[in-house]
Amino acid sequence: MQTGKSNTTEDRARAALPLTPIAMHILLALVDRARHGLGIAQHVEEFTDGRVSLGPGNLYGTIKKLLETGLIGDADSSADGDAADPRRRYYAISPVGRRALEIETRDLANVLNVARMKKVLR
Amino acid sequence: MTRLYRALLYLYPPQFRRRFGDEMMELFHTRHAAARARGSLARIVFWIGTVVDLLSSVWREHGPWSPRALFISLFGGGGANIRDGLRFVRRSPGVSATIILLMALTIGAASSVFSVVNAVLLKAPPYPDSDRLVLVWEGRPERNIDRNVVAGHEFPVWNESNRTFERMAAIWFAGNVTLTGAGEPKSLTGVRVSSEFFNVMGVQPILGRGFVPREDAPGSGQVIVLTERLWRERFNADPAVTGRKAILDGRPYEVVGVMGEGFSFPMTSLGQHVDYWSPIAEPIREYRGRHFLTVVGRLKPGVSLDEARADMTRVARDLTTEFPQLNRAHEARVMPLHGDLVRDSRALLLLLMGAVSCLLLIGCSNVAGLLLARGLSRQREIGVRLALGGSRLGIARQLLAESLLLAACGAVLGVATTFWIAQAIPSLVPRAVLAVDRIPVDVTVLAFAIGTSIATGLLFGLAPALQTTRVSLADVLQQAGRTISSAGHPRLRRLLVAGQVALTLVLVLGAGLMTRGLLALATTDPGFTTHGLLTANLALPGASYRSAVKQRRFYQDLVDRAGALPGVISAAAINAIPLGGSYSGIGVDVEGAPPPAPGQELSARYRVVSSDYFRTMEIPVLDGRVFAPSDARIAVPVIRWYPQQSVPEGYDAPQPPPMAVINATMAAQFWPNTNPIGRRFKVIFSPWITVIGVVADTRNESLRDGFRPEFYMHDLQEPQAAMSLVVRTAGDPMALSASVRQAIWSIDRNLAIAKITTMDDVVGSTFGLPRLTSSLVGTFALLALGLMAAGIYGLVAFTTTQRLPELGVRIALGADRASVLRMMVLQGLTPAAIGIAVGLATAFGLVRVVEDGMFGVPPLDPATWVTVTALLVLAIVAACWWPAYRASRVDPVIVLRTQ
């Protein structure tokens, strides 16, 4: 395909797939606004009715990975520019992350449709 | 806890920790606070979750060279070290086997006790949302009563006017009934419940249905729900059982449902299984002041215990306003169901857990001592490896891998033992104590066993590993051919020995106090002669013995026939056998006494006995006389339970007055400084009852408690449906059991005899729990004593062997053998003395906590403290003396030649 443009948003998003469940939850939490780690954990717990409770290790392990693959970024780093600041760090979803989430959820939606059709889900 | 987590963060790579450490701490902190607020179960769940999160993410964060890298970072050369470890195990099978056995023993013991703690204290009861289930009791702060059963007029009001409960149900322990028409006559334990009961518990029948409100209306209620067990045993697990009739006490009941396996709530106070449930179906609202109901409730979702308590306090206050006399200072107490069920076993289990933890630590420190000694014998090898450029860390890792390998072997054996013991426990421990039927060895128990093994393996392998590798190269190479005396080892071993002595002292002291308490209990005089007495529990079915007169005739007949049997000295009947676990209390008004101040109302225990009871039990008569057959009344019974109850037939005919025999305590408390004979008192709605005699105090409820005021009524005046026959025999009581059974069946073939046993056994069974606890703690203490002695022996033997060349020189130069002996004995005595001091101080601090487990012996009982300390000193001196003595006998020539 478009081999020359391996750095486009689309390619980077596809390279990050598939998303782990934790990564998906984190990205979903960041869709509407930037949050800090604790905020992400609380939000996820809230919108899953407490069924998903992210432990510190898995939460920040995944955040680290998402930062590395560019799906999220430090929200305040450009504003403050002070990396040594011990205050809470905010994370925001990047265009790549948004695209990856979109592709992944669309795939899931297809699965859901099939499941509905075959009466697995009602 | 926060510090622990911060320390655990060091498991992550430094980069990750620096970038995210603070944020992770914050998240941990928030979660931890939330879990703490939700109670101990939530905390345990939280910690398990945290450990899982930690392990899984640490694994991942160590990047592309994980998981092997992680293993290597902990255990060094991985497979190679394990191979080395196995080689060592093969090379020194004796030491290895000892270590493995020690670990198996201690881990097995600790995990077994933990499996009980897990099953009883940590597991929630098997009902949906069981954290919303509570028991509601009546509390009487003025008389220090916390958990009184609830009165007939109180429950309906509680049920209607509370605002915090989704549902509430009342339970009435109805006693035993006889099932006929389904195989042999069988005595069943039934409970009567209000119609919401199954909905409160949140458990539905597997067959048929629960009760509907209509069936709980007074006069109806001829329906029952079976337990799965009864359904299987007596109804052949018939799937069409609903609609069938069961004959209970001669009356037909329709089976409407069967509960699933495992549902047998509530358990009776004697730990009996429930066999069936039936509706209460009586006008309980009119049974004012009669306390007989246990109340269980389900809180509305989101309602906290405190809110429920506040709500019920309001309800109780309103009741007091409505019934100022009857409900003066009555409160309502809301207790979580689970906590309430396990309240008796909690202290006991924690005590056992403490004792077994002591044993675990002692065993593990012995293992550490053995590892140290073994490390020493390899010091030359290690020195050479260090000299050749081996890394100290690498060698320490190898040693650690070996100790973990041994710990793992021990753990496997220990877990196997746990399975075996956990299976045996329910048959050893009274059900009323444990409140569970099964002790599962589940994931939690396995996690505990494995975690303990790893922790002990690391803890007690790490120190020796580090110590052993701390050798000076110069020393090793200079002293080639000799073992090296490095100051570090004995210091660590002395520390271990001091710790062992301290723990052992605590444990042995605890066992000593318990044993003394048990002895005191066993030698307590119950006030009657237990030896040579046979007892048989009976319950007359209501259908054929409905009237008090019929009941009276049966027991009179029975006592006469039993008394005429050959080998029988005398026979009598009593409604609640002494020390049999049940008793009745009742409010008493003394004639001529000023009305009591609020909260000072008199009450007494009472029992109903036949004429010859006091003679049969050999209870001394102190004053007046006891009952005679001529005291029979026409109008029975005497006591009416509520004002609407009809007056018995023949009430106004001329007949003996109602009378009672009282015990010495009642005489002294209710009629101080006057002769109680001829005085009168009333109970609830009874006529005046005249005191005709005073008998000596007896311990009818517990051997441990003091005497309470108690009176006896005559069964010819207050007939009972359920009584126990007591028979005094000339020879072995059990030899007469067959003829007593015959005597019973000669009157009524259809009677179910619940139990024939000797009075000695009845009394003995009240020691069941104390005996079990003290024998367990005693076993732990004996093991600890042996391990401690072995530890000290090892220390002294080790130092003397090390100093043998030096001792040889001393003796060769003319040192006195006695002074050598003294010197070497002191090697062991010094740390032991420190251990004893620490142990005594610890025990002094602890006895306050475990006071309740001591069965009434003052925890600072000087005799026990002195005996236990002396025993320990004796064991310590013996363990020190033997190796020291051998060292003092060495032949200097031989020693010096081997150098």
For residue B836, give Cα distances in angstroms to B165, B462, B797, B811, B871: 55, 26, 21, 32, 12
pLDDT at residue B570 above 90? yes
Per CB-CB distance under 8 Å, the chain B contacts of A56 are: 23-25, 27-28, 50, 53
CA–CA gap between residue B311 and residue B865 (Å, rounded): 50
List Cβ neighbours of B87 (8 Å cut-off, separation of 6 or more). Answer: none
pLDDT at residue B753 above 80? no
- Smallest CA–CA distance, residue B460 to chain A, in Å, is 29
Pick from B414, B421, B482: which is nearest to B448 by CA? Answer: B414
Give the pair of three-digit tokens for residue B184.
């042999």
A61:B61 CB<8 A? yes
B53:A37 CB<8 A? no
pLDDT at residue B306 above 70? yes
Q: Which helix (H) or strand (E) holds B246?
A: strand B245-248
CA–CA gap between residue B576 and residue B574 (Å, rounded): 6
What does the DSSP 8-state code read for residue B816?
Answer: -
CA–CA gap between residue B125 and residue B337 (Å, rounded): 8
Per CB-CB distance under 8 Å, the chain B contacts of A64 are: 16, 19-20, 61
- Smallest CA–CA distance, residue B57 to chain A, in Å, is 5
pLDDT at residue B480 above 60? no
| Any B CB within 8 A of A57 CB | yes
Least confident of B252-261, B341-350, B773-782, B820-829: B341-350
How high is the pLDDT of residue B127? Answer: 86
**Residues of chain B with pLDDT > 90: what percent?**
23
Could you report the per-residue pLDDT of B581-601, keeping only the tens digit for each? Answer: 777 778 888 998 887 776 677
CA–CA gap between residue B18 and residue B23 (Å, rounded): 10
Could you report the per-residue pLDDT of B412-432, keeping only the tens digit for each? Answer: 888 888 888 888 877 777 665
Pairing mode, strands A90-93 and A72-74 = antiparallel
What does the DSSP 8-state code read for residue B648?
Answer: P
What integer is the mean pLDDT of B731-751? 87
How high is the pLDDT of residue B571? Answer: 94
Measured in residues, chain A has a length of: 122
| Any B CB within 8 A of A50 CB | no
Q: How many CB atoms lie within 10 A of CB B163?
A: 13
Could you report the per-residue pLDDT of B146-164, keeping only the tens digit for each? Answer: 788 888 889 999 999 999 9
What integer is the mean pLDDT of B47-63? 73
What integer is the mean pLDDT of B817-823? 84
Sheet order of strands, A35-36 included? A35-36, A90-93, A72-74
Angle between the N-to-C axes of helices B737-747 and B548-563, in degrees from 0 to 180, rounded to the nearest 10: 140
Could you report the per-residue pLDDT of B5-20, keeping only the tens digit for each? Answer: 777 777 787 788 888 8
How high is the pLDDT of residue B612? Answer: 92
> Predicted confidence band at B849 (pLDDT cuts at 50, 70, 90)?
low
Per CB-CB distance under 8 Å, the chain A contacts of B10 are: none
How high is the pLDDT of residue B885? Answer: 86
> Which of A55, A64, A88 has the CB atom closest to B53's CB atom?
A55
How high is the pLDDT of residue B88? Answer: 65
Per CB-CB distance under 8 Å, the chain B contacts of A38 are: 23, 26-27, 30
CA–CA gap between residue B698 and residue B682 (Å, rounded): 23
DSSP string, A24-57: HHHHHHHSSS-EEHHHHHHHHHHHTTTS----HH
CA–CA gap between residue B385 and residue A45 (Å, rounded): 55
| Any B CB within 8 A of A20 CB | no
CA–CA gap between residue B44 and residue B52 (Å, rounded): 12
- Smallest CA–CA distance, residue A54 to chain B, in Å, is 8
SS3 B186: strand
B314 or B48, which is more confident: B314
**Cis peptide bond prior to B266, omega within 30° of 0:** yes
How high is the pLDDT of residue B78? Answer: 46
The residue written with tokens 């052992």 in the block is B504
> Which of B22, B25, B27 has the CB atom closest to A59's CB atom?
B27
Q: What is the mean pLDDT of chain B?
A: 82
How high is the pLDDT of residue A84? Answer: 39
Could you report the per-residue pLDDT of B678-706, keeping only the tens digit for each? Answer: 999 988 778 899 999 999 999 988 887 77
CA–CA gap between residue B336 and residue B452 (Å, rounded): 31
How high is the pLDDT of residue B76? Answer: 47
pLDDT at residue B65 above 50? no
Residue B610 backbone dihedrals phi, psi, to 5 degrees: -90, 175
Angle, CA of B377, B381 and B385, to the nearest 5°: 150
Least confident of B208-222, B280-294, B640-654: B640-654
How high is the pLDDT of residue B270? Answer: 61
pLDDT at residue B80 above 70? no
How high is the pLDDT of residue B837? Answer: 93
CA–CA gap between residue B58 and residue A58 (Å, rounded): 9
Could you report the per-residue pLDDT of B432-465, keeping only the tens digit for each? Answer: 566 677 777 888 888 888 888 888 877 777 777 7
Pick from B762, B771, B728: which is nearest to B580 by CA? Answer: B762
Per CB-CB distance under 8 Å, the chain B contacts of A76 are: none
How high is the pLDDT of residue A87? Answer: 60
How high is the pLDDT of residue B297? Answer: 94
| Any B CB within 8 A of A39 CB | no
How high is the pLDDT of residue B643? Answer: 67
How high is the pLDDT of residue B404? Answer: 77
A57:B22 CB<8 A? no
Q: Is the ipTM beyond the 0.85 threshold?
A: no
Instruction: Give bridge partners of residue B294 from the DSSP assignment.
Output: B171
Per CB-CB distance under 8 Å, the chain A contacts of B51 are: none
Q: Do B258 and B225 contact (CB within 8 A), yes or no? A: yes
What integer is the mean pLDDT of B853-882? 83
Pick from B720, B548, B713, B716: which is nearest to B647 by CA? Answer: B548
List Cβ neighbours of B15 (8 Å cut-off, separation of 6 or more). Answer: none
What spatial distance separates the first Cα and last Cα of chain A, rounded to whole Å?
39
Give the pair of three-digit tokens for residue B570.
């005398």
How high is the pLDDT of residue B471? Answer: 67
Could you report the per-residue pLDDT of B770-803, keeping only the tens digit for each? Answer: 777 788 888 899 989 988 888 888 888 877 877 7
- Most confident residue range from B263-277, B671-685, B836-850: B671-685
| Any B CB within 8 A of A55 CB | yes
Could you report the per-residue pLDDT of B218-270, keeping only the tens digit for each? Answer: 888 789 999 998 998 888 888 888 888 888 877 889 999 999 887 888 877 66
Pairing mode, strands B291-299 and B150-151 = antiparallel
- Smallest CA–CA distance, residue B301 to chain A, in Å, is 16
B26:A63 CB<8 A? no
Pick from B385, B397, B401, B466: which is nearest to B82 by CA? Answer: B401
DSSP string, B124-157: PPSSTTGGGEEEEEEEEGGGTEEEEPEETTHHHH
Question: Which residue on chain B is closest to A84 by alpha carbon?
Answer: B19
B504 or B368, which is more confident: B504
Least confident of B56-70, B269-283, B741-755, B847-861: B56-70
Q: Do B702 and B605 contact (CB within 8 A), yes or no? A: no
Give Cα A101 distance to the centre of its chain. 7
- Residue B504 gets the label, from left (phi > 0), alpha (psi -120 to 50) or beta, of alpha
CA–CA gap between residue B329 and residue B179 (Å, rounded): 42
> Predicted confidence band at B729 (pLDDT cuts at 50, 70, 90)?
very high
pTM of the model: 0.66
> Predicted confidence band at B99 (pLDDT cuts at 50, 70, 90)?
confident
SS3 B386: helix
Q: Name the H helices within B686-812.
A: 737-747, 759-765, 768-802, 804-812
What integer is the mean pLDDT of B2-6? 73
Count of CB pairs separated by less than 8 Å, A with B: 58
Could you report the per-residue pLDDT of B117-148, keeping only the tens digit for each? Answer: 888 888 878 888 888 999 999 888 776 777 88
pLDDT at residue B66 above 60? no
How high is the pLDDT of residue A4? Answer: 43
DSSP string, A76-116: SHHHH--TT--SPPEEEE-HHHHHHHHHHHHHHHHHHHHHH
CA–CA gap between residue B790 and residue B410 (Å, rounded): 19
Q: How many CB atoms lie within 10 A of CB B137?
A: 20
> Predicted confidence band at A5 (pLDDT cuts at 50, 70, 90)?
very low
Exposure b/e, B723-744, CB count within 10 A at least 16 = b? bbbbbbbeeebeebbebbeebb
What integer is the mean pLDDT of B821-848? 87
CA–CA gap between residue B229 and residue B700 (Å, rounded): 33
pLDDT at residue B26 above 90? no
How high is the pLDDT of residue B488? Answer: 45
| Any A CB within 8 A of B525 CB | no
**Choosing among A60, A85, A90, which should be mutated to test the B contact, i.e. which has the most B CBs within 10 A?**
A60
